[in-house]
Chains A and B, each alone.
Chain A
């Protein structure tokens, strides 16, 4: 027990890094998801092709490979080395953004066509259509998967320890070397990751409830069982 109490500040510091990278990566992933997700629903063949190419490329390369490329390979191309944290956030954001784009595309396409027809009958402009009617309705559908992607991104952020960013995993590695308490060193990190994940899940559920209330769905409806967080699942959901 003393191991935990003594090293808590160090782990909290690591958790802070993990949190920052997760939030940064999520912000980037969210913007990318929206842009490429909406492009993927457009009638223009070019727009859809751009979205498909983005998704296929950045979904195909694992965040770790992408991060290594940004950190080790890209400097040879542009003559400038990114900060490790920046490389990590870019890699995670670009990778998870590809899954997010599929999520956004799927959710927009799931809004009933009748809603789109009503916006035509009311003579909305295309942008107004998207902003006032389609996105607010797709939002509730996007949220559960976005929640899972946040967890995936947080878990994925552990790879930053491999380029010497002192996140939770890095701290665990250091504690293992310094204290020799192999089991405790990793267990402490795992528990902190788990707590972070539970916080993210809680926030997502709150957001889901709010979104459903806004669509006039009964707030006392039993919460939908959480879909299992997985990029594989997202990939599938997006394609159907």
Chain B
């Protein structure tokens, strides 16, 4: 193990980490918004629409994220939509994880007592107000820890972006490793970094659970 090389490679690895974090944050934001829309459509839209949306989500959940990445990266440009690798990655991550966050939101929505909808109707609140000020605040609060889990899961999935040439952590590690024939140092460093983040975030989720789940 060449420790000096690890120190030397650190700046490049940290630059890669910046892409990793960037992709995670943007992909997660997309997943949060899109997932909520999907959950609301499945709750509020006519059955045929809801059913179609369900099967699309099921399809996304049952197929590999890597192939979905390739799909976005290669197919959209061939349809005339120009994308940077990072944008393609963020879209694929966001859509893939929206299929999961939608289910989390749905369980949250199902957990809101029926009486809350009835009370809103009794006060003749308009539909939008019912959602925004009665239902969603209650539904989302109780699923915050579950949503947090998907942030961690997505972070662990970002190395896949390597396959579509996003210069994230694994990409940089692989590049440096290849150039200097120091795979052991660089990839081990990536592995350790992921373990550290994973352990820390597990502690964070436990904190969220204590704070929100008990409500």
A adjacent to B, CB under 8 Å:
yes
Structural contact, A56 and B62, CB atoms closer than 8 A: no
**Please, how many angstroms separate the alpha-carbon atoms of A10 and B13 in the complex?**
38
Structural contact, B71 and A159, CB atoms closer than 8 A: no
Partner pick for A64 among B62, B78, B160, CB 8 A cutoff: B160
- The answer to whether A193 has its CB under 8 Å from any CB of chain B is yes
| A197 proximity list for chain B (CB < 8 A) | 62-63
| B68 proximity list for chain A (CB < 8 A) | 190
Query: A-contacting residues of B (Cβ < 8 Å)?
Result: 59, 61-68, 70-71, 74-75, 78-79, 100, 103, 145-146, 149-150, 152-153, 156-157, 159-160, 162-163, 170, 174, 177, 183-184, 186-188, 190-191, 194-199, 202, 205-206, 209
Structural contact, A193 and B63, CB atoms closer than 8 A: yes
Q: Nearest residue in A to B79 (C-beta to C-beta)?
A: A183
How many A-B contacts are there with CB distance less than 8 Å?
A: 142
Structural contact, B61 and A229, CB atoms closer than 8 A: yes
- The answer to whether A41 has its CB under 8 Å from any CB of chain B is no
Q: Nearest residue in A to B62 (C-beta to C-beta)?
A: A197
| A182 proximity list for chain B (CB < 8 A) | 74-75, 78
| Nearest Cβ on chain B to A103's Cβ, whole angstroms | 15
| A61 proximity list for chain B (CB < 8 A) | 156, 191, 194-195, 198
| Nearest Cβ on chain B to A187's Cβ, whole angstroms | 8
- The answer to whether A145 has its CB under 8 Å from any CB of chain B is no
Query: B-contacting residues of A (Cβ < 8 Å)?
Result: 56-57, 59-62, 64-66, 68-69, 72-74, 76-77, 151, 154-159, 161-162, 168-169, 172-173, 176, 182-183, 186-187, 189-190, 193-194, 197-198, 228-233, 235-236, 239-240
| A172 proximity list for chain B (CB < 8 A) | 67, 70
- Other than the known A60-B197, A62-B159, A158-B65, what 15 A-B pairs have Cβ atoms closer than 8 Å? A61-B191, A62-B156, A68-B174, A159-B66, A168-B67, A176-B74, A186-B67, A193-B63, A193-B64, A194-B59, A229-B61, A230-B100, A235-B149, A235-B153, A240-B209
Most buried by A among B67, B149, B150, B186: B67
| Nearest Cβ on chain B to A193's Cβ, whole angstroms | 4
| A229 proximity list for chain B (CB < 8 A) | 61-62
| Nearest Cβ on chain A to B167's Cβ, whole angstroms | 16
Structural contact, A68 and B170, CB atoms closer than 8 A: yes
**Please, how many angstroms separate the alpha-carbon atoms of A170 and B196 in the complex?**
32
Structural contact, B199 and A65, CB atoms closer than 8 A: no
**Please, how many angstroms separate the alpha-carbon atoms of A237 and B9 in the complex?**
38
| Nearest Cβ on chain A to B68's Cβ, whole angstroms | 8
| Nearest Cβ on chain A to B50's Cβ, whole angstroms | 15
**Please, how many angstroms separate the alpha-carbon atoms of A56 and B199 in the complex?**
7
**Please, how many angstroms separate the alpha-carbon atoms of A57 and B191 in the complex?**
9
| A235 proximity list for chain B (CB < 8 A) | 149, 152-153, 202
| Nearest Cβ on chain A to B211's Cβ, whole angstroms | 15
Assuming the contacts A64-B159, A169-B70, asked whether A56 and B198 have C-beta atoms less than 8 A apart, the reply is: yes
Q: List 16 A-B contacts (CB under 8 A).
A: A60-B199, A62-B194, A66-B191, A74-B184, A155-B63, A172-B67, A176-B74, A186-B70, A190-B63, A190-B67, A228-B100, A230-B150, A232-B150, A232-B152, A239-B202, A239-B205
